[in-house]
C-alpha cells in the first residue's frame, strides 16, 4: 500500500515545471505511506505522483506504472488479490510483476466498449487509483467497494481536479476537498461519478432462506486469508485476543509456511508467524492475546504503553487519521503506537480483523434487533459507513509508520458469501452470543475462552483506564465556558462532550477549513448514534459515551 497524488485537467498555458514542483511538495505530506520510493509522471494533461511501500514485487513494481508504449500511466494505492488470475487471462504486454498492473491491462482491453470504467468490478482487492490515457486525454479514478483505501478529491483555484490518498495533501489546495466515495468510478470521458459496485445481497429479500454450513463459511474465510497473504516482505497479524483477530491469526497460521505468491509450492521466506498486541498494564487484550498466541504457536509480541504515552500521541494521531470522531481516536491511538513498534521490528504488512462486526452484527446493540430484516439492513448500513470509521482508523494509524493493514473479513469474495447468508442465522439473543454463527464455524480452532469471548471495543480492551483517563483529561483541558459555547464555535457536528470538544480543537489546528470538518460524518460513535439502534432500544439515545461498556444489560453481564 502506498499513496497517490494526481492533478488533471491541465491547460495548455500551465507551467508544467511549477505544477510538478507543487505536486511533489503536496505528495510529500503523505510520504509516510510510501517511504520506499517516489515516482513522478508529467504529461500535458496530467501529473501523477506515487509514494511507494513495496510489498509485492519490490524490485520492479515502481510506479506510476507505464504501458509498454508509454501511453498509459497508473498510480495505485492498494493490493489486487486476484491479480494472478487476471494476468493469466490477459493478452496485455506486462512490464512488471506488480499486482496492480492488471488495472492497466483491464483498461486497455475494455476501454473501447467500457466507457464508464466498470472494468474495476473485476478486481478483488483494496485500492484507490488514478489512471491516465495520454492518447485519449482521458483519466479514470476509482476506489475499492468498501473504502478500505482512503481517497480524497477536490479542485484547486484554477479548476484542476486533484486526488490524493490523504486529505492533508489537498487541505490547503482545494476549498472543496471531500472523500471520494467507495465503490465509485469517475471517468473523464463521461464526466460524472458513477457507482460500479452493486450487490443483490444489499436487499434482505435476496438473502431470505439462504443458509451455509459451518464448514462452507469456514472455508470461505480461510480462502480469503490465504489470498491476502501474498507478500514479498516480512508480515504479521494483529492479535488483540478478541474473536476476529484470533480467527485471522488462526487461519494465517495454517498457511504461513508456504509462499503464497508461488502457489504454495515453496517454503515461505519468513515461515514463522509473528503476532502483535498492545495495551495498558493489565489490559484484557494483552492477557487474551497471549492465550491465543500460545495456542496458535505464533511468535508473539505484547507491548505495554502508558497513559501518558498515549495522551502525548493524540495530536499526531488526529493529524494522521484526519478525524475528530471519539471512538476512532480512542482506538486509533494504541494502534498508532503499536504500528511504530511493528515498524521498528522490520515488519511491513499485517492482517487485521476489521469488518467482522459489521458483517455478522458483532456490536452489542445487535442483541436488541427486532427482526432478521432489521438486523440485515443495519449490517448493510454499517458496511456503507465503515470507510469513515474502522477502515479509516486501521489504514491511517498503521500507514502513519509505513505498515500496511489488510482486512480479510472485507475480502470481496468472502463478503458475497457472508452477506448472502440470511440474517436470521446471525441474530444474537435468546441464549445466543453475538456472531455465534462464525464462532460455530471455527469450533476447535481456538481455545474456548477466546472463541466465545464477548465483544469488547478495541479502546476498551486495551485497558479501561485508557478511556476513563481521556475523559478526565478532557474535563481538565476544556473549560465549562468553552464547552458552553461549543455550538457557536462548531455549528457543524457540534461536540456533545468535553472529550469530543478536545479532539475537535486539535483537528481544527491541522484542518481549519469547513470542507475538512465536513469530511467527518459525525462527532461520536456510529454505533450509539445509529437510528436503528435507538429504535431498537430508546436508551441508546442517551448513550453519549460510545464505549462498549455503555450498552446496558449486555456488557455488564459479560463482565460479571
Ordered mean pLDDT values, 10 residues apiece, the chain (560 residues): 94 96 98 94 97 83 93 97 95 94 95 74 97 96 98 98 98 98 96 95 98 97 96 93 97 87 77 93 94 96 97 98 97 98 96 98 92 97 97 98 97 98 94 95 96 73 88 98 98 96 98 97 57 77 55 46
The whole-number pLDDT of residue 275 equals 98
Backbone conformation region of residue 137, classed left if phi is above 0, alpha if psi is from -120 to 50, else beta: left
What b/e readout covers 378-400, taking b as 16+ CB neighbours within 10 angstroms? Answer: bbbebbbbbbbbbbbbbbbbbbb
Annotated catalytic, 2?
Answer: yes
How many CB atoms sit inside 10 A of residue 42's CB?
17
4 is in an annotated binding site: no
Which of 157, 172, 198 is the last residue before a domain boundary? 198
DSSP class of 212: -
99 is in an annotated binding site: yes
Same domain for 82 and 153, yes or no, is yes
How many structural domains is the chain composed of?
A: 2
> 404 and 398 in contact (C-beta within 8 Å)?
yes
CA 332/CA 394 separation, integer angstroms: 7
Same domain for 384 and 352, yes or no, is yes
> Could you give the strand order of the β-sheet that contains 161-164, starting from the edge strand earlier in sequence?
37-42, 46-52, 3-8, 161-164, 152-155, 178-179
Which of 177, 198, 219 is the last residue before a domain boundary? 198
The domain that contains 34 carries what CATH number?
A: 3.60.20.10
353 is in an annotated binding site: yes
Contacts of 35 (CB under 8 A, 6+ apart): 51, 53, 402
The whole-number pLDDT of residue 543 equals 60
Q: Which of 2, 100, 251, 391 is catalytic?
A: 2
Cα angle 121-123-125, degrees, rounded to a multiple of 5: 125
Helices (H), 33-188: 83-88, 102-110
Same domain for 180 and 36, yes or no, is yes
Same domain for 182 and 239, yes or no, is no
DSSP class of 168: G
The whole-number pLDDT of residue 457 equals 58
DSSP class of 455: P
Same domain for 173 and 222, yes or no, is no
CA 45/CA 286 separation, integer angstroms: 52
The whole-number pLDDT of residue 542 equals 60
**Three-class secondary structure of residue 223 per DSSP:** helix
Contacts of 172 (CB under 8 A, 6+ apart): none
318 is in an annotated binding site: no
CA 50/CA 38 separation, integer angstroms: 6
Same domain for 310 and 190, yes or no, is no
Q: Compute the CA torsion angle 169, 171, 173, 176 (nearest 10 deg).
A: 120
Same domain for 288 and 314, yes or no, is yes
State how far Cα 121 lies from the chain centre: 19
141 is in an annotated binding site: no
Same domain for 158 and 253, yes or no, is no
Same domain for 222 and 135, yes or no, is no
Which of 169, 198, 227 is the last residue before a domain boundary? 198
Same domain for 188 and 208, yes or no, is no
> 272 and 299 in contact (C-beta within 8 Å)?
yes
Same domain for 102 and 223, yes or no, is no
CA 128/CA 411 separation, integer angstroms: 15
CA-closest candidate to residue 418, choices 386, 455, 383: 383
Cα angle 71-129-195, degrees, rounded to a multiple of 5: 110
Domain extent, residue 222, equals 202-470+477-559
- Check the CA dihedral 25-31-36-38 and report its sign: negative
Same domain for 379 and 395, yes or no, is yes
The domain that contains 552 carries what CATH number?
A: 3.40.50.620
Amino acid at each position: 500500500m502506498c499513496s497517490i497524488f494526481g492533478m488533471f485537467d491541465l491547460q495548455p498555458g500551465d507551467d508544467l515545471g511549477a505544477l510538478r514542483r507543487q505536486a511533489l511538495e503536496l505528495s510529500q505530506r503523505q510520504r509516510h505511506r510510501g517511504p520506499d520510493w517516489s515516482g513522478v509522471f508529467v504529461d500535458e494533461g496530467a501529473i501523477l505522483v506515487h509514494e511507494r511501500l513495496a510489498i509485492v514485487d519490490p524490485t520492479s513494481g515502481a510506479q506510476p506504472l507505464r504501458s509498454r508504449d508509454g501511453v498509459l500511466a497508473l498510480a495505485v494505492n492498494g493490493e489486487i488479490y486476484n491479480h494472478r488470475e487476471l494476468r493469466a487471462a490477459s493478452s496485455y504486454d506486462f512490464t512488471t510483476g506488480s499486482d496492480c498492473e492488471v488495472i492497466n491491462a483491464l483498461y486497455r482491453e475494455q476501454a473501447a466498449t467500457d466507457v464508464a470504467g466498470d472494468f474495476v468490478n473485476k478486481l478483488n482487492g483494496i485500492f484507490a487509483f488514478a489512471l491516465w490515457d495520454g492518447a485519449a486525454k482521458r483519466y479514470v479514478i476509482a476506489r475499492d467497494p468498501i473504502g478500505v483505501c482512503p481517497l480524497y478529491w477536490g479542485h484547486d483555484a484554477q479548476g484542476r481536479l486533484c486526488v490524493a490518498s490523504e486529505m492533508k495533501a489537498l487541505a490547503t489546495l482545494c476549498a472543496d476537498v471531500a472523500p471520494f466515495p467507495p465503490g465509485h468510478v469517475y471517468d473523464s470521458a463521461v464526466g460524472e461519478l458513477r457507482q460500479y459496485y452493486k450487490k443483490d445481497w444489499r436487499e434482505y429479500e435476496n438473502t431470505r432462506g439462504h443458509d451455509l454450513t459451518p464448514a462452507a463459511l469456514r472455508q470461505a474465510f480461510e480462502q480469503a486469508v490465504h489470498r491476502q497473504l501474498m507478500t514479498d516482505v516480512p508480515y504479521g497479524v494483529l492479535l488483540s485476543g478478541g474473536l476476529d483477530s484470533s480467527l485471522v491469526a488462526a487461519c494465517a497460521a495454517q498457511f504461513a509456511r508456504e509462499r503464497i505468491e508461488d502457489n504454495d509450492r515453496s517454503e515461505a521466506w519468513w515461515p514463522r508467524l509473528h503476532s502483535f498486541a498492545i495495551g495498558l498494564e493489565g489490559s484484557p487484550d494483552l492477557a487474551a492475546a497471549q492465550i491465543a498466541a500460545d495456542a496458535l504457536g505464533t511468535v508473539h509480541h505484547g507491548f505495554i504503553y502508558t497513559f501518558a504515552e498515549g495522551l502525548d500521541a493524540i495530536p499526531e494521531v488526529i493529524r494522521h487519521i484526519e478525524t475528530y470522531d471519539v471512538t476512532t481516536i480512542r482506538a486509533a491511538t494504541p494502534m498508532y503506537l503499536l504500528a511504530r513498534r511493528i515498524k521498528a521490528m522490520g515488519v511491513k504488512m499485517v492482517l487485521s480483523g476489521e469488518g467482522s462486526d459489521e458483517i455478522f452484527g458483532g456490536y452489542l446493540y445487535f442483541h436488541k434487533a427486532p427482526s432478521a430484516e432489521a438486523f440485515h439492513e443495519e449490517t448493510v448500513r454499517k458496511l456503507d459507513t465503515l470507510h469513515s470509521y474502522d477502515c479509516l482508523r486501521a489504514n491511517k494509524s498503521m500507514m502513519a509508520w509505513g505498515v500496511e493493514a489488510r482486512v480479510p473479513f472485507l475480502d470481496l469474495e468472502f463478503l458475497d458469501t457472508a452477506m448472502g447468508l440470511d440474517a436470521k442465522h446471525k441474530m444474537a439473543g435468546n441464549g445466543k452470543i453475538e456472531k455465534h454463527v462464525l464462532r460455530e464455524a471455527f469450533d476447535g480452532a481456538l481455545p474456548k475462552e477466546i472463541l466465545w469471548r464477548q465483544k469488547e471495543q478495541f479502546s476498551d480492551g486495551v485497558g479501561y483506564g485508557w478511556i476513563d483517563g481521556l475523559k478526565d483529561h478532557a474535563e481538565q483541558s476544556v473549560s465549562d465556558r468553552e464547552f458552553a459555547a461549543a455550538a457557536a464555535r462548531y455549528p457543524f457536528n457540534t461536540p456533545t462532550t468535553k472529550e469530543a470538544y478536545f479532539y475537535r480543537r486539535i483537528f481544527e489546528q491541522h484542518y481549519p477549513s469547513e470542507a475538512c470538518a465536513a469530511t467527518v460524518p459525525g462527532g461520536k460513535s456510529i454505533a450509539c448514534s445509529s437510528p436503528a439502534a435507538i429504535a431498537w432500544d430508546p436508551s441508546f439515545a442517551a448513550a453519549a459515551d460510545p464505549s462498549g461498556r455503555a450498552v446496558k444489560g449486555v456488557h455488564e453481564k459479560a463482565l460479571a
